[in-house]
Structure 1
Amino acid sequence: MTEGLRSRLIGAWKLVSYREIPVDGAEPFEPLGHEPQGIIMHTPDGYMSAQLSRPERPGFASGDWFDGTTEEYTAEATSYIAYSGPFHVDEEKQTLTHSMFVSLFPNWTGQTQPRVVRIEGGMLHLSTASPIRSSGRTVNSALTWRRAEPN
């Protein structure tokens, strides 16, 4: 018997690439740079967490996360994506949804978003099931993750 999609998702995955593909045919772009960092985890009890970051983010001069300048907060928020919550798999349809219990982007809090999912060997390919707004454009997001080695 083949292992189900849900059981194959369980664990931690490290981000390999993150591309936005504009629906108007414009050139794809990498909102977090060419070598983004990130981890997505799916737990056996049905929760997930995704953290994505531009590498080499500058620190706050104050050293205090509640005492940054407007420029520091802008740089912080535009170089990081984070959300967590329950996930659901429909084994028959081979679909995945992420529910955002918390999100750095407040507009996503409380949303459930479908993902197109494909697992090939140790690689997880996730993309948005319908277009989203990103950097002022309507795009489809495409992310590739590599299964993280156990610690």
Structure 2
Amino acid sequence: MSILSKLTGTWDCTYWTETNTNDPSDVIHTYSKDVKGVLMYTSDGYMSAMMQHPDVPSYTLGFLQGTDGEHIEAASKTHGYNGSFTVQEPAEAGKSLVIEHHVLMGLPTNLAGKTQRRFAEITEEAGQLYLTIRADFAINRDRVDRNIEVGWKKREPISPIKAS
């Protein structure tokens, strides 16, 4: 099975961690240990990703009618973007796959027009595919440099066509 055929499909987020670059025992779960997230790669080269903290409440007034406070809380606990993607297979064994996400739009909005470079590994356990993605940069959170790692588990495909 090719790298692209393994990658194509829908993935559920299993974790998002940020690890202190100077102390590997200092790990935080950015969107909680119960993070909600979906990552999709299509066969025609597009992708979409969204992660969210599980305690984001529904808007009290209904769909698209949140208060200013509800909008702020939802935005501060949600991260996502979409666009196209390219894959560079490793030149030698033991090296990571490189995936570049070419962002069309996102939250935070300053992701638009940028390329998000990721180092990735696809593994298989008992027939189940797993994807581990690491950012190619460290972020600084509360004056601590941290490496981001996000884990994904591939969903089984479904048929969107309902029999009549």
- Once the two structures are superposed, residues 84-122 of structure 1 have per-residue CA deviations (whole angstroms, 9 ceiling, x without a partner) of 001001124431111110101111111101101000011
Post-superposition offset of 1:71? 1.9
Counterpart in the other structure of 1:6: 4
Amino acid at match of 2:75: A
Segments of structure 1 that go 5 or more residues without pairing to the other structure are none
Q: Which has the larger radius of gyration?
A: 2
- Pairing of 1:15-34 with structure 2 (within 5 A): 15-25=13-23, 27-34=26-33
Does 1:146 pair with 2:153? yes
Q: Percent identity?
A: 27
The aligned runs of 1:51-70 (5 Å cut-off) are: 51-65=50-64, 67-70=65-68
Alpha-carbon spacing, 1:134–1:104, altered in 2? closer, same or farther (3 Å):
farther
- The count of corresponding residues between Structure 1 and Structure 2 is 148
> What SS does structure 1 have at the residue aligned with 2:43?
coil
Q: What TM-score does the superposition give when structure 2 sets the normalisation length?
A: 0.81
Tell me the TM-score normalized by structure 1: 0.87
* Structure 1 position 57, deviation (Å): 1.9
**Is the CA contact 1:6–1:91 (under 8 Å) kept in the aligned structure 2?**
no
**Partners of 1:12 and 1:41 within 8 A in 2:** yes
Query: Whose strand fraction is larger, Structure 1's or Structure 2's?
Result: 2
**Structure 2: gaps of 5 or more residues:** 92-96, 159-164
Q: Is the 8 A contact 2:132 2:151 kept in 1?
A: yes
Deviation of the 1:60 alpha carbon? 1.6
Pair 134,107 (structure 1): closer, same or farther in 2 beyond 3 Å: farther
Aligned runs of 1:61-140 on 2, under 5 Å?
Answer: 61-65=60-64, 67-93=65-91, 94-121=97-124, 122-134=129-141, 137-140=144-147
